Amino acid sequence: MALQVNYNFKGIELPEAYFMVENTRSRKNHVKNQVLISEAVLNELDEIIEPPVYEMQWSKVVDAVVTVRLYATESSKEENPNSFLESKSYSFTPSENQTAKNITIQSYEYLKTLGEFEDSIDV
């Protein structure tokens, strides 16, 4: 699986640029947030009668990083997988529900939402 698109690499047009996911990383973190439960109550002089009430809540943060390699063409990748022109990384929020696609497929789907890949085709 890869994406093929017309791409300008440092001023050189690559009509069959070949982007292939090299690596995906996904991580989950739990973050503690202070959440306002009720605002402060003020008197007519703007003095605090009752202070604001906050509560600490935990939330799960999931993110992923996908690294793609750019090759001039698919055949250049097949001839020598180390002949890539550049490597680029992108961050996105993957789905984790039970019916979610695997992280590599989600990575390709995310890439196709970006402007530089909007006219790409799956190869």
Per-residue pLDDT reduced to its tens digit, 99-120: 888 999 999 999 999 999 999 9
Q: Is the pLDDT of residue 79 over 90?
A: yes
Q: Of 10-14, 27-31, 52-56, give the lowest mean pLDDT range.
A: 27-31
Is residue 2 left, alpha or beta, with left meaning phi > 0 and alpha meaning psi from -120 to 50? beta
- d(CA 76, CA 4) in angstroms, rounded, equals 13
Stretch (H or E) spanning 78? helix 74-79
Instruction: Give me the sign of the Cα torsion angle 72, 77, 80, 83.
Output: positive
pLDDT tens digits for 30-49? Answer: 999 999 999 999 999 999 99
Report the pLDDT value the prediction gives residue 67, as an integer from 0 to 100.
97
Distances (CA, A) of 2 to 57, 61, 73, 121: 41, 28, 11, 8
Report the pLDDT value the prediction gives residue 2, as an integer from 0 to 100.
96
Report the pLDDT value the prediction gives residue 100, as an integer from 0 to 100.
83
Give this prediction's pTM: 0.74
Q: What is the mean pLDDT of residues 71-83?
A: 95
